[in-house]
Amino acid sequence: MHKLNTVAIVGSGLVGSGWALVFARAGATVRIFDGDAALRARAPARIRQMLLDMQGAGLVQDVEEPLSRITVCDTLAEAVGPADYIQESVLERVEVKQAVCAEIDAAMRPEAICGSSSSGIPASAFTEALRNRSRFLIAHPVNPPHLVPLVELVPAPWTDPAILPALRAAMEEWGQAPIVVKAEIEGFILNRLQGALLNEAWALYEAGLASAADIDLTVSQGLGLRWAFMGPFETIDLNAPGGIADYSARLAPLYHNIAVSRANPRPWSDAAIRGAEKERREVLPTDQLQERTDWRNRRLMALVAHLRSQPK
């Protein structure tokens, strides 16, 4: 059992609120701070609504019990001081991360761990000067963290290596699915995989080979079905009689040709972006984006409930 019983949330926007729910649901004591007093005051009501939505989808039993473990603090030091683990979820700008992490550094216990929700900026860009810099790393969630379990743990060069197995175990106990990215790389793992697929999708779209809607169907009615419960390596491991080596012997040349055909990458073009934006707005007008996002969250909750019910 890990000893990370008290958790501080610094930054209580959508991501920070989702994190607060994750920790409280798992039984931790949660202390929330946000520099915006109105935002932090709204956090419990927002988390209550998330819990009610999850209760409706059969994902949590009780709403009030996890909420009772959440306290909103008036200062950062008050939130961070007693914490065993700190989840920083402030704005994704390096100077903001630097300033907030300096405050965390000053207030934290030296044995605490601080994970940053940064989706792109590596920890080395904003923790180098900290007294406790060996206790900082990236803990990048997918949005929203209370529905999508993946968390990327990415150390800076000076992160204490012992933190990785400890935080990995704690994240698993909290109900998340942590992975370890062994060194800093731009985009970490998740956004690199997403980006590779998106880059190909944009290139196909720009070449006029398929509509955005048809490219979406290729994933949602094809590739995505297996990827909802198996990763890409397990998928190909089960797609040839002799497993992944057999699959690779058959198909690696095709996939290499595909890579070579994209060896001169161009940025996503303005014309393609305008075209896809136009196609999307015909399907989904701007004033329905929020409604569709709510639909996505309901679909995610139902999918998570389904996936939990299945044999591993």
Residues 86-125 that bind a second copy (CB under 8 A): 120
Amino acid at 269: S
Q: How far apart are CA 260 and CA 239, in angstroms?
A: 24
Residue 141 CB, shortest distance to a second copy, in Å, is 9
User: What are the residues whose beta carbons fall under 8 Å from the beta carbon of 133, sequence distance 6 or more?
Assistant: 105, 127, 156, 158, 159
Amino acid at 204: L
Select 107 or 164, whichever has its Cβ closest to a second copy: 164
Range 154-183, binding a second copy (CB under 8 A): 177, 179-183
Select 98 or 235, whichever has its Cβ closest to a second copy: 235
Interface map 251-280 toward a second copy (x if CB under 8 A): -xxxxxxxxxxxxxxxxx----xx-xx--x
Select 101 or 272, whichever has its Cβ closest to a second copy: 272
Residue of 4, 118, 238, 308 that binds a second copy (CB under 8 A) = 238
Residue of 49, 52, 91, 233 that binds a second copy (CB under 8 A) = 233
Residue of 13, 19, 286, 287 that binds a second copy (CB under 8 A) = 286
Pairing between strand 136-141 and 150-155?
antiparallel
**Closest-CA residue to 130 (of 155, 164, 106, 157):** 106
User: What are the residues whose beta carbons fall under 8 Å from the beta carbon of 209, sequence distance 6 or more?
Assistant: none
DSSP state of 191: H
Interface map 59-88 toward a second copy (x if CB under 8 A): ------------------------------
Listing DSSP states for 98-166 in one string gives: HHHHHHHHHHS-TT-EEEE--SSS-THHHHTT-TTGGGEEEEEEPSSTTTS-EEEEEE-TTS-TTHHHH
Residue 77 CB, shortest distance to a second copy, in Å, is 32
- For residues 212, 214, 216, 220, the Cα torsion angle rounded to the nearest 10 degrees is 170
Piece in contact with a second copy (CB under 8 A), picked from 6-14, 69-77, 83-91, 244-252: 244-252
Select 160 or 172, whichever has its Cβ closest to a second copy: 172
Amino acid at 247: Y
Residue of 37, 131, 143, 175 that binds a second copy (CB under 8 A) = 143
Range 11-70, binding a second copy (CB under 8 A): none
Is 304 one of the binding residues for a second copy (CB under 8 A)? yes
